[in-house]
Amino acid sequence: MGHCPQDDRGGPDPHLGRYAARTAGMTASEIRALFAVASRPEVVSLAGGMPHLAALPLEELAAQSARIIAEEGLTALQYASAHGLPLLREQICEVMALEGVAARPDDVVVTVGSQMGLDLVARLFCDPGDVVVAEGPSYVGALGSFAAYQAEVVHVPVDGHGLVPDGLRAALRQARNAGRRVKLLYTVPNFHNPSGVTLAAGRRAEVLEICRASGVLVVEDNPYGLLGFDGRVRPALHSLDPENVVYLGSFSKTFAPGLRVGWVLAPHPVREKLVLAAESAMLCPPTLNQMIVSRYLATQDWRGRIESFREIYRERRDAMLDALEEYLPPGCTWTEPDGGFYVWVKVPEGVDTKAMLPRAVAARVAYAPGTGFYTNGLGSRRMRLSYCYPTPERIREGVRRLAAVLEAEPALAHASAAAGPGRTAGRRALAPEAV
Ligand SMILES: Cc1ncc(COP(=O)(O)O)c(C=O)c1O
């Protein structure tokens, strides 16, 4: 916690008063704090966004990594350019071509995960007090990066078709009227984290047009774009307006997050500054990890593997939606994602998902409470459930436990005692206007 008078062992912090003002915006993410408890084996964790790695060819990857060190160790273990390895940047362009992006390797910068891309973009564009508009809710790691550079995130409403263009117009107008400077739109157009929704095709050009007309740069964060369950790949925002979109990509969800390899594709002048910022942050991204990713892309059927990841996640999404339908008490609604990792659940009035979390963990199920995904205190009746990591059986069991916890919440226990037994029939997917 910034300016917290105590350290995390309860003692006074002798450095208080020395910290830079920007540390005031650095607060522990509710989700990170959860990882410790949620990773106990008896807890079904529906909290984290950890990909399912068991489908990777580990023996083959081990052999390849060993060969890279044995045969090219003097390169693999050496410093390299902050821009990223040229071959990998070419391969990244092939990956992005699947989403209609026509990129030149020179305009790609390899980063330590897309999280670092976010940090670098915030570093380049955000002065204290600048406004970043973003979906409400938004990816918690992005909120952390913008807070670290003292930018204020203004949320734009989201419905079942993604970011609402009229909401974006209104947010920009309001900020302008208040004399604020809006620098960026931060958006996750595909299989959004945490809401699971996807920006409708018809809205993409509209959102881009609004931003261009307002002089706002678009930051398109797209780690899940290739994980659509219908196999259809949506055109990246970048493909529609390359000069006004900075695209963040990642191998974390389609290959391996532990390698920490992501990238930024930026208009050329921005790319030049990004390389300088990357240099001062880390000198260069890890050479060995870049070579492992590059070799994987060159020698493995990575498209086929993404195909099988889609199948696995679709089965888990189905298991979760079926279990929600079967177990959750009346008054709960949720989104139905077409890809990615997450379902966004709305609980009945009177239930506070953050306050309920310790009771859920005691009942051996964990989720991510909604408030962490907003900067304005909203989200207390929302939670994010991830279906990416547990097996379908564990997902079912987790939702069953969660339902029991919800039903025991005073607000629900009273309501169901008054209403008597019986469930509402029919699916309860969240109404499109109500994300
Ligand atoms: C929307 C979004 N952006 C960025 C990231 C960070 O990914 P990476 O592992 O590439 O840093 C995540 C991870 O969950 C995410 O969901």
At 83, the amino acid letter reads H
For 116, which DSSP code? H
Query: Following DSSP, what letter does each residue of 21-54 receive, concatenated?
Result: GGGGG----HHHHHHHHHTSTTSEE-S------T
Rounded CA gap, 216 and 38, in Å?
39
Bridge partner list, 334: 345, 429
Closest atom of ligand 1 relative to the 116 alpha carbon? 11
**110-143 tens-digit pLDDT:** 999 999 999 999 999 999 999 999 999 999 999 9
Task: In whole angstroms, give the CA distance from residue 309 to residue 388.
Answer: 10
Looking at residue 386, what DSSP letter applies? E
For residue 161, what is the DSSP state?
T
Stronger pLDDT, 36 or 181, i.e. the higher one: 181
Q: Ligand 1 centre from 115 Cα, in Å?
A: 6
Q: Is 91 in the pocket of ligand 1 (CB under 6 A)?
A: no
Q: Distance between CA atoms of 2 and 414, rounded to whole angstroms? A: 40
- Of the pLDDT bands very low, low, confident and very high (cuts 50, 70, 90), residue 424 is very low
Query: What is the pLDDT, as a whole number, of residue 26?
Result: 77
What does the domain layout of the chain look like in residue ranges?
A: 25-55+304-410, 73-299
Report the b/e string of 128-164 with b at 16+ CB within 10 A. eebbbbbbbbbbbbbbbbbbbbbbbbbbbbbbbbbbb
**Tokens representing residue 329 in the block:** 């008490």
- CATH dotted code for 73-299: 3.40.640.10
pLDDT reading at 374 higher than 50: yes
Q: How far is CA 270 from CA 56, 123, 142, 211, 217, in A?
A: 35, 12, 19, 17, 11
pLDDT tens digit sequence for 393-411 = 999 999 999 999 999 999 8
Which of 318, 136, 338, 61 lies closest to 224, judged by CA?
A: 338
**How far, in Å, CA of 399 to CA of 386, rounded?**
11
Give 95 or 32, the one with higher predicted confidence. Answer: 95
CA dihedral 258, 261, 262, 263 (to 10 degrees): 170
C-beta neighbour count of 433 within 10 angstroms: 11
Q: What is the pLDDT of residue 64?
A: 97
**H or E element: which one contains 192?**
none
With a cut of 60, say whether residue 433 has pLDDT above it: no
**If you ran DSSP here, which 8-state letter would residue 241 be given?**
-
Mutate which of 34, 95, 115 for ligand 1? The one with the most ligand atoms within 8 Å of its CB, which is 115
Distance 176 CA to ligand 1 centre (A): 30
Query: Does residue 51's CB lie within 6 angstroms of at least one atom of ligand 1?
Result: no
Q: Name the residue type at position 100.
A: G
The answer to whether residue 236 scores a pLDDT higher than 70 is yes
pLDDT tens digits along 307-359: 999 999 999 999 999 999 999 999 999 999 999 999 999 999 999 999 999 99
Beta strands 368-369 and 382-386 are antiparallel
d(CA 59, CA 53): 13
Query: 178-193, pLDDT tens digit by residue?
Result: 999 999 999 999 999 9
pLDDT band (50, 70, 90) for residue 233? confident
**Is the C-beta atom of 115 inside 6 A of ligand 1?**
yes
Q: Does residue 426 have a pLDDT over 60?
A: no
Asked if residue 277 lies in contact with residue 120, where contact means CB atoms within 8 angstroms, the answer is: yes
- Which residues pair with residue 217 across a beta bridge? 184
Q: What CA–CA distance (Å, rounded) separates 102 from 84?
A: 19
Place of tokens 């050329």: 268
Query: Are 243 and 207 in contact, with CB atoms under 8 Å apart?
Result: no
pLDDT confidence band for 414 (50 / 70 / 90): confident
Helix or strand holding residue 257 (H, E): none
- Ligand 1 centroid–CA 421 distance in Å is 42
Rounded alpha-carbon distances, angstroms, from residue 337 to 8, 185, 191, 425:
38, 22, 6, 21
Band of pLDDT at residue 55, cut at 50, 70 and 90: confident
- pLDDT attached to residue 11: 82
Per-residue model confidence (pLDDT) at position 207: 98
DSSP 3-state percent helix, strand, coil across the chain (nearest 5): 45, 15, 40
Taking residues 273-299, what's their average pLDDT?
97
| Domain covering 25-55+304-410, topology | Aspartate Aminotransferase, domain 1 (3.90.1150)
> Which pLDDT does position 3 carry in this prediction?
43
pTM, whole model, 2 decimals? 0.94
| C-alpha 118 to ligand 1 mean position (Å) | 9
Distance of alpha carbon 192 from alpha carbon 169, whole angstroms: 20
Residues 192-232 have pLDDT tens digits of: 999 999 999 999 999 999 999 999 999 999 999 999 999 88
